[in-house]
Structure 1
């Protein structure tokens, strides 16, 4: 491996580390109002199979996957096959801002269809390069999305632990825990295929 290649890899690792540190700082130290959420991480569904979906609103493959993903996870949640967590990742400059507002929105209304609607709105905001809290609140208000701010420190800590334990270094990624086994899938095709295979799982 040439020196230039190594240098490029090092630069990417440093950039990723800086983004992750920024994610931590924003989640822990940003001002907030309201009361604590009822649960550490918002989850959807009462199934025994645990699913953690790692995406980023600025990730083009994640955006493209959303339309094909929604009906699959909708069926899995309604059928009480899975317990689903949307785990936003800190891989882009403004990722933390978007993750925070997703949490604020689902803290107001914790329903899967609403969460999916919020995700679509955030994807649109990312495409429109919304990069501040003021612009974000205006964009969400225009969609009729209400917010219930709270201190997300505990949620962030739990998400950080999952990121480390699941060794997430790319998006989209999905971790499925079933029958004591944990499998990780990367890329839209593999993720949707793996989730479709869960449809026959015992409730």
Structure 2
């Protein structure tokens, strides 16, 4: 990695913080936003990698200038075979949290590592188990944390995670938004 510049192509403060904690030198470079749309018939497990690859496309010209690795990622929440992205508004956030309440769901992050001559992709999946949430808890969380930039309308590291998540199976950091252990391994092998 030492002979490559590393770019994190993400507006997410959580991804920025997690990557910083790996003690890697990188910079955040933002290009035009890519619409997070995917083919209707695409298998849910393939969606996060597909979106991560789409997010890498605007950086292709930059990769020709100097040895660079661009990190792009997308996280989805999968509950009852339905993909939950970022809620459009308060009403949708309430609906999502009610759907997750008292159930198990899956958080899947797709990551693309893109250089001028190659691309490596991977996914990490974590099972999350929510307790039954009251409407008062849901309202309090949405009113105080505004989770409109988070897939599934929640952040595990926030109040709702502390009071509502009974357990997880898999990577905690994946649920936060970036599976840093797997990312570190993949960067070293890249």
Does TM, normalized by the shorter one, top 0.5?
A: no
Which structure has more strand as a fraction of its residues? Answer: 2
The structure with the greater share of residues assigned to helix is 1
What band does the TM-score fall into relative to the shorter chain?
under 0.3
Alignment TM-score, normalising by the size of structure 2:
0.26
**Given the two structures, how large is their TM-score scaled by the length of structure 1?**
0.25
Q: Which has the higher contact order (CA 8 A, sep 6+)?
A: 1
